[in-house]
């Protein structure tokens, strides 16, 4: 656009056409906003012509349905929000538009971001553009930001917003050969983002490259007085950090991430990442994060507990669909039973149980203490290292329906990502190789609190070394 | 600690979720499966450990000035209401 080879209107029209073709097959968008996109693109072209282009001027993006968008239906992909149409804009999406972004539509996700395969969405699962070899079975793009990952991987937008409570940015990025970063807790304002587990939720981008993810995060992050947990620290130049050398950096490799039953190709990928870091002049340091195995059980107390409180607001009185009962309580009960899906109901019940009288100390308080242990493991490790390198997921993408019956098996998808949420740390997943079936596999780089710069530096170096060029074939065209 | 059907009914009541009778037993089984997996947290020594209540250390919650900075906008507030009248939400009768 800067070279005047095409305009934002041209680019936006191309994406609108691509979405029209692909979406019946991928189900990545739950709402498309072509008219809004065209108007924004036209305004962007005018701003650019006037020499007033912002950092994202004219760039068409997708917005996860968890972000409130003024005048555009926002449901967190839950039935309980009905046709909820916000009269306000989330801080994060507002900042993207301030910087010139164009919105193509709202992206599918697991209901209230609870899921790792996008199968809990009220609007049906998202299909990954990737396929195993020549098979045509439908694979998951991961979750909860499955629509974001699928849309970016299928070239239906330049980048997308996403959110990460236990791995919901990084696991879908790893499954789809895209880049996703969850910044330090508090970097991005949570204002206007439908709440799931408030002490864990963080917004971040899913993009095609590490540099793109840095540019998007720059616009999304920053202090917001409307979120009391929003950090006041000044934002560093994230894009500049992607050009930094990692020579002399100390990179930790935690022994506890070598889990039972991990496929050999994940192990090999991790070893390859270590070799790439060494070749770039980094020093590899073995470290121990000894409470790693307790991270997921801790998460499955803390997150449902917070969710059961956050989701108490959905009572059918102020928004969403109301299902009348014989009295007020039964109206609440009917409204919630009909509006929430099975996984959300399960988590609300767990959360209510662990917070209920007689169980609070045994479960919730204990989980908060174990969470402290997990965070302390990281604090100790970061005394000795500048960043930590791990695999992003314990496997490549699985088929839709493959892990339907056992919630715990599904939860184990987030084994490598959930620790960064509990400890509030920045972490990025990037594609590094393909498995024997041609599916992407990702590495994860975890940084100290507030040190996204080291995360970007290491990730960009690994990205250059990996030279990942694989793309999903556009079988829907 | 195993979750029996009575507990499932009680928790569903607390959570204001109507749970059809035929779902009570399967839900007890699902919750027990998850809670059994969570029980491994009992192995961790948490003696003297401070519970972690915030993801960021040393974060103090700022106070804003006690002034009206928003409001007087009932139309926007009521825009998504399932039922409203004369600038109010209409809800089922609370007191008989």
From chain A, pick out residues whose CB is under 8 angstroms from the CB of B53: 199, 368
**Mutation for B interface: A233, A291, A305, A353, most B CBs within 10 A:** A353
Query: Which of A306, A411, A424 minimizes the C-alpha distance to A376?
Result: A424
Report pLDDT for A129.
98
Residue A357 at interface with chain B, using a CB cutoff of 8 Å: no
State the average pLDDT for chain A.
Answer: 97
Report pLDDT for A87.
96
Percent of chain B with pLDDT over 70: 96
Report pLDDT for B94.
84
Burial class (CB in 10 A: 0-12, 13-18, 19+), A384: exposed
Q: Is the pLDDT of residue B1 over 80?
A: no
Cβ-contact A469, A251 below 8 angstroms:
no
Residue A408 at interface with chain B, using a CB cutoff of 8 Å: yes
Q: What is the dihedral of CA B56, B60, B64, B65, to 10 degrees?
A: -170
- In chain B, how many domains are there? 1
Which 279-308 residues of chain A touch chain B by CB within 8 A?
291, 293-294, 297-298, 300-301, 308
Q: Domain of B36? A: 5-43
Q: In 3-state terms, what secondary structure has residue A146?
A: helix
Whether residue B77 lies inside any domain: the answer is: no
Nearest residue, CB atoms, B94 vs list A82, A321, A328: A328
Nearest residue, CB atoms, A349 vs list B12, B54, B76: B12
Nearest residue, CB atoms, A297 vs list B41, B52, B59: B41
Query: Which of A65, A55, A60 minimizes the C-alpha distance to A15?
Result: A60
Question: In terms of pLDDT, which residue wins out, B63 or A471?
Answer: A471
Residue A362 at interface with chain B, using a CB cutoff of 8 Å: yes
Assign 3-class secondary structure to A412-454: HHHCCCHHHHHHCCCEEEEEEEECCCCCEEEEEEEECCCCHHH
Phi, psi of A179 (to 5 degrees): -110, 135
**Where are chain A's structural domains?**
111-477
Lowest mean per-residue pLDDT among A342-346, B79-83, B92-96: B92-96
Structure tokens at B15: 């959570």
pLDDT digits (tens, 9 = 90+) for A418-458: 999 999 999 999 999 999 999 999 999 999 999 999 999 99
Are residues B8 and A362, on separate chains, in Cβ contact within 8 Å?
Answer: no
Q: Is the pLDDT of residue A313 over 80?
A: yes
Lowest mean per-residue pLDDT among A28-32, A57-61, A97-101, A261-265: A261-265
Q: Is the pLDDT of residue A85 over 80?
A: yes
What residues form DSSP beta bridges with A163? A203
Q: In 3-state terms, what secondary structure has residue A177?
A: coil
Q: Is the pLDDT of residue A399 over 70?
A: yes
Whether residue B85 lies inside any domain: the answer is: no
From chain A, pick out residues whose CB is under 8 angstroms from the CB of B40: 293-294, 297
Are residues A294 and B18, on separate chains, in Cβ contact within 8 Å?
Answer: no
Q: Measure Cα distances from B78 to A68, A88, A103, A195, B83 in Å.
A: 16, 13, 26, 21, 9
Q: Which residue of A has its CA nearest to B51?
A: A369
Q: Is the pLDDT of residue A363 over 70?
A: yes
Sequence-distant (6+) residues with CB within 8 A of A295 are A374, A415, A418, A419, A422
Are residues A322 and B76, on separate chains, in Cβ contact within 8 Å?
Answer: no
pLDDT digits (tens, 9 = 90+) for A37-76: 999 999 999 999 999 999 999 999 999 999 999 999 999 9
C-alpha A149/C-alpha A142 separation (Å) is: 8
Q: Is the pLDDT of residue A364 over 70?
A: yes
Q: Is the dihedral of CA A250, A256, A257, A261 positive or negative?
A: positive
From chain A, pick out residues whose CB is under 8 angstroms from the CB of B52: 368-369, 371-372, 375, 422
Cis bond upstream, residue A144 (ω within 30): yes
Whether residue B61 lies inside any domain: the answer is: no
Are residues A373 and B44, on separate chains, in Cβ contact within 8 Å?
Answer: yes
C-alpha A415/C-alpha A392 separation (Å) is: 9
Half-sphere exposure of A314 (CA within 13 A, CB side): 32
Average pLDDT over every residue of A336-351: 97
* Crossing angle (nearest 10°) for helices A342-355 and A295-310: 100
Contact pairs from chain A to chain B, CB under 8 Å = 163
The pLDDT-based confidence of A414 (bands split at 50, 70, 90) is: very high
C-alpha A280/C-alpha A303 separation (Å) is: 38
Half-sphere exposure of A433 (CA within 13 A, CB side): 19
From chain B, pick out residues whose CB is under 8 angstroms from the CB of A316: 82
Cβ-contact A140, A118 below 8 angstroms:
yes
The pLDDT-based confidence of A336 (bands split at 50, 70, 90) is: very high
Q: Is the pLDDT of residue A367 over 80?
A: yes
CATH class of A111-477: alpha beta
Whether residue B79 lies inside any domain: the answer is: no
Sequence-distant (6+) residues with CB within 8 A of A63 are A69, A93, A96, A103, A105, A106, A107, A160, A161
Q: In 3-state terms, what secondary structure has residue B10?
A: helix
Are residues A199 and B54, on separate chains, in Cβ contact within 8 Å?
Answer: yes
Spell A143-173 as b/e; 16+ CB within 10 A means b: bbbbbbbbbbbbbbbbbbbbbbbbbbbbbbb
Burial class (CB in 10 A: 0-12, 13-18, 19+), A13: middle
**Which residue bears the tokens 């209401």?**
B81
pLDDT digits (tens, 9 = 90+) for A152-182: 999 999 999 999 999 999 999 999 999 999 9
What residues form DSSP beta bridges with A193? A67
Structure tokens at A84: 């909820």
Report pLDDT for B58.
67
What residues form DSSP beta bridges with A63? A106
Whether residue B21 lies inside any domain: the answer is: yes
**Mutation for B interface: A202, A339, A369, most B CBs within 10 A:** A369
Which 64-93 residues of chain B touch chain A by CB within 8 A?
64, 76, 79-83, 89, 91-93
The pLDDT-based confidence of A21 (bands split at 50, 70, 90) is: very high
Report pLDDT for A181.
98
pLDDT digits (tens, 9 = 90+) for A105-123: 999 999 999 999 999 999 9
Phi, psi of A12 (to 5 degrees): -65, -45
Are residues B16 and A85, on separate chains, in Cβ contact within 8 Å?
Answer: no
Structure tokens at B22: 């035929």
Residues of A noted as catalytic: 64, 144, 168
The pLDDT-based confidence of B63 (bands split at 50, 70, 90) is: confident
Question: In terms of pLDDT, which residue wins out, B71 or A281?
Answer: A281
Q: Which residue of B has its CA nearest to A317?
A: B91
C-alpha A381/C-alpha A389 separation (Å) is: 12
The pLDDT-based confidence of A289 (bands split at 50, 70, 90) is: very high
C-alpha A254/C-alpha A263 separation (Å) is: 17
Query: Which of A446, A72, A97 minimizes the C-alpha distance to A287?
Result: A446
Structure tokens at B3: 């979750």
Are residues B82 and A320, on separate chains, in Cβ contact within 8 Å?
Answer: yes
Percent of chain A with pLDDT over 70: 100
**Which residue bears the tokens 């029980």?**
B39
The pLDDT-based confidence of B88 (bands split at 50, 70, 90) is: very high
- Report which secondary-structure segment, H or E, holds A333: helix A328-339
């Amino acid at each position: 656009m800067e070279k005047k080879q095409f305009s934002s209107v041209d680019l936006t029209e191309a994406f609108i056409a691509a979405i029209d073709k692909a979406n019946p097959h991928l189900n990545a968008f739950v709402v498309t906003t072509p008219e809004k996109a065209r108007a924004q693109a036209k305004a962007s072209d005018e701003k650019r012509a006037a020499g007033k282009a912002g950092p994202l001027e004219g760039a068409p993006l997708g917005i996860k349905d968890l972000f409130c968008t003024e005048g555009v239906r926002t449901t967190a992909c839950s039935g309980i929000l009905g046709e909820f149409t916000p009269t306000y804009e989330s801080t994060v999406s507002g900042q993207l538009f301030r910087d010139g972004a164009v919105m193509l539509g709202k992206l599918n996700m697991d209901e209230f971001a609870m899921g790792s395969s996008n199968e809990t969405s009220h609007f049906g699962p998202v299909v990954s553009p990737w396929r195993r070899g020549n098979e045509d079975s439908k694979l998951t793009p991961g979750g909860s930001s499955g629509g974001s990952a699928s849309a970016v991987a299928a070239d239906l937008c330049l980048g997308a917003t996403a959110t990460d409570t236990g791995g919901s940015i990084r696991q879908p990025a790893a499954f789809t050969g895209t880049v996703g970063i969850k910044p330090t807790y508090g970097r991005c304002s949570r204002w206007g983002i439908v709440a799931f587990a408030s002490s864990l939720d963080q917004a971040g981008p899913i993009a095609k490259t590490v540099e793109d993810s840095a540019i998007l995060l720059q616009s999304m992050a920053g202090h917001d007085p409307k979120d009391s947990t929003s950090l006041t620290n000044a934002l560093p130049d994230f894009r500049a950090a992607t050009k930094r050398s990692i020579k002399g950096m100390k990179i930790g490799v935690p022994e506890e991430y070598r889990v039972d039953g991990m496929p050999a190709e994940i192990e090999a990928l991790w070893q390859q990442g270590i070799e790439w870091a060494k070749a770039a002049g980094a020093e590899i340091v073995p470290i121990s994060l000894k409470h790693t195995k307790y991270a997921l059980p801790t998460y499955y107390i803390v997150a449902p507990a917070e969710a059961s409180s956050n989701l108490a607001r959905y009572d059918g009185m102020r928004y969403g669909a109301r299902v009348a009962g014989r009295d007020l309580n039964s109206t609440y009960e009917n409204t919630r039973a009909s509006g929430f899906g099975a996984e959300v109901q399960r988590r609300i019940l767990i959360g209510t149980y662990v917070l209920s009288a007689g169980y609070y100390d045994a479960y919730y308080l204990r989980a908060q203490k174990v969470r402290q242990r997990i965070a302390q493991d990281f604090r100790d490790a970061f005394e000795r290292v500048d960043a930590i390198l791990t695999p992003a997921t314990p496997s490549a993408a699985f088929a839709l329906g493959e892990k339907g019956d056992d919630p715990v098996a599904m939860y184990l998808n987030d084994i490598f990502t959930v620790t960064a949420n509990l400890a509030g740390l920045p972490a990025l997943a990037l594609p590094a190789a393909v498995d024997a079936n041609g599916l992407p596999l990702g590495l994860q780089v975890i940084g100290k609190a507030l040190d996204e710069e080291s995360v970007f530096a290491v990730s960009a170096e690994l990205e250059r070394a990996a030279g990942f060029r694989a793309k999903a074939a556009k079988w829907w065209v | 600690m195993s979750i029996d059907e009575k507990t499932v009914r009680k928790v569903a009541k607390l959570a204001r979720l109507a749970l059809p009778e035929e779902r009570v037993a399967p839900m007890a089984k699902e919750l027990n499966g998850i809670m059994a997996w969570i029980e491994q947290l009992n192995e961790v020594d948490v003696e003297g450990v401070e519970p972690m209540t915030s993801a960021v250390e040393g974060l103090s919650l700022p106070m804003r000035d006690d002034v009206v900075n928003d409001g007087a906008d009932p139309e926007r507030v009521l825009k998504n209401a399932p039922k409203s009248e004369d600038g109010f939400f209409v809800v089922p009768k609370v007191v008989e």
